Structure 1
Amino acid sequence: MLDPTQLDTLAAGFTVLARFHQEPPDEDTLATFRQMLDEWPLPGTEGATQGLQVLRSSEAVAEDAAAVRADHAGLYGTLAVARVAPYESVHRGQERLVFDAHTLQVRDAYRTLSLQAPKLNREPDDHIGLELEFVAQSCLRALDALDQGSEADAERYVRLGADFYRDHLGQWAPEMLGRVVDEAHTAFMAGLAHLTAGALESYAQATGVQTEDA
């Protein structure tokens, strides 16, 4: 069972990463994030070390929010064809299409926490940002359960998150994030991908989960 400190740091890190993969930061958010890099809650992995270094280089070369927004859109296909699709189904499905069986499996998993994709049936449920958010929410629910004195419920929430990582995130996100590093036009997006890979490694270490072949 994870202790409250572990749950809090995992929730904090995954919440930030989930947000930035879904929507790039504006100028104020970017400045605040850069000021807090030294306080990143999930250090200690190779991905975190690389990510923080690359993100600091983004500030050093004065990348602004407009540059990050353009790169985010180009990478994830907000305005055109994606350089790296942000959806699990594209990476794992035989037909490489969205809204396939993997999307529906992810939708079912979200229901275990009474969650659903914000644009249900209009955009795929299995976006990298939404999957990261599920992990964050599982940690937050476990924290709430511990606050209410229910260790059994807390363990159940942790297991839901770990199972989701094993069956979904861990099966496709590391490779996808590596492609983002290769395809990114900004240090910010490359650094974000490294940092996310490090967070996934931290989560796997903390929960003891191991992925099987996809």
Structure 2
Amino acid sequence: MTNDDQILDFLYARQFAYDVLRRLFMEEPTPELLSYLSDSGLLLFPCDEALPAMKNAINEMHKDLNNRRIQANTEDFENLHWDFTRLFIGPEAPPAAPWESTYVSRDKLLFQESTLAVKSFYEQYGVHLPEGDMEAADHIGYELDFMWHLSLRITEVIDSETENVDWTKVNALLLGSVTFLNTHLLAFITPFCHSMHNHAETVFYRQLSSLLELFLRNDIKKINELVNL
């Protein structure tokens, strides 16, 4: 990134990417979301030309969706819905457990020290879980949602400036993003994506595991390059 336009493009693009990723992990898939991804969402997903594996993952996900009839109550949709449910929810112990604590804590229990540390990090930035929500704060969907919140604030800072961007505010949010990635998301993303890849029964979710890790590791690399300019 050699000029302001490239930097701004990167900052807006990562907000879009985190929005897509959080939706794919926070809630069960819907025909509407999958149809959007098939029509345009995946084609708009930012892809680093230096990472052909990322482009390949996106292409394979897109191809899998295009080969399906994505409507409620169809076998094509239900196969994807079941893959999500089986991987991350149950009815048995999910083979790709979506909680950070199951990978980083010795006892692998939820709502313990590691979960509380994630919740505390959210609250430092004024992000709170939905009232009454029983899901653990360190769920992969919530962690991606938090990264989306920070990326959104960055673009809001940019949009609020009529002349010069307040790069001090932007850099502070980027540094917060780096800290969260290093301390939390990247602390468990490799074993999580490995489990997801090994147990997924659909091309879509198998390739999503590749896309997720590639994107996160590329994101922190680019942020570090940007804040060190």
Query: Pick from 40, 43, 47: which aligns with 1:42?
Result: 47
Q: Pick closer, same or farther for the CA change 1:62–1:146 going to 2, 3 Å.
A: closer
> 8 Å contact 1:22–1:130 — kept in the other structure?
yes
- Distance in 2, Cα, partners of 1:137 & 1:119: 17
Q: How does 1:38-117 map to 2 (within 5 A)?
A: 38-44=43-49, 45-59=51-65, 61-62=67-68, 64-117=76-129
- Distance in 2, Cα, partners of 1:80 & 1:115: 31
Query: Pick from 6, 10, 14: which aligns with 2:10?
Result: 6
Greater Cα radius of gyration, structure 1 or 2: 2
- Distance in 1, Cα, partners of 2:167 & 2:128: 25
Aligned residues, how many? Answer: 209
RMSD over aligned Cα, in angstroms? Answer: 2.2
Consecutive unaligned residues of structure 1, counting only runs of 5 or more, are 210-214
Deviations 1:178-197 (A, max 9, x none): 21011101111112212211
> 8 Å contact 1:48–1:197 — kept in the other structure?
no
Deviations 1:67-97 (A, max 9, x none): 1111111001244321111000011000011
By how many angstroms is 1:48 displaced? 1.7
* Normalised TM-score (structure 1): 0.88
> 8 Å contact 2:83–2:200 — kept in the other structure?
yes
- Distance in 2, Cα, partners of 1:84 & 1:14: 20
Deviations 1:158-185 (A, max 9, x none): 1111110011111111221121011101
Counterpart code for 1:205:
K
Counterpart code for 2:185:
L
By how many angstroms is 1:121 displaced? 6.6
Q: Higher mean Cα deviation, 116-125 or 200-209?
A: 116-125
SS in 1 for 2:136: coil
Counterpart code for 1:71:
D
Is structure 2 residue 170 aligned with structure 1 residue 170? no
- Deviating above 6 A after TM superposition, structure 1's stretches of 4 or more consecutive aligned residues are none
**What is residue 221 of structure 2 aligned with on the other side?**
205
- Distance in 2, Cα, partners of 1:39 & 1:152: 29
Is structure 2 residue 172 aligned with structure 1 residue 160? no
**What is residue 189 of structure 1 aligned with on the other side?**
205
Deviations 1:27-73 (A, max 9, x none): 23212201223322234325422321331342354273221111111
> 8 Å contact 1:42–1:202 — kept in the other structure?
no
Q: Equivalent pairs: percent with the same residue?
A: 21
Consecutive unaligned residues of structure 2, counting only runs of 5 or more, are 70-75
> 8 Å contact 2:103–2:188 — kept in the other structure?
yes
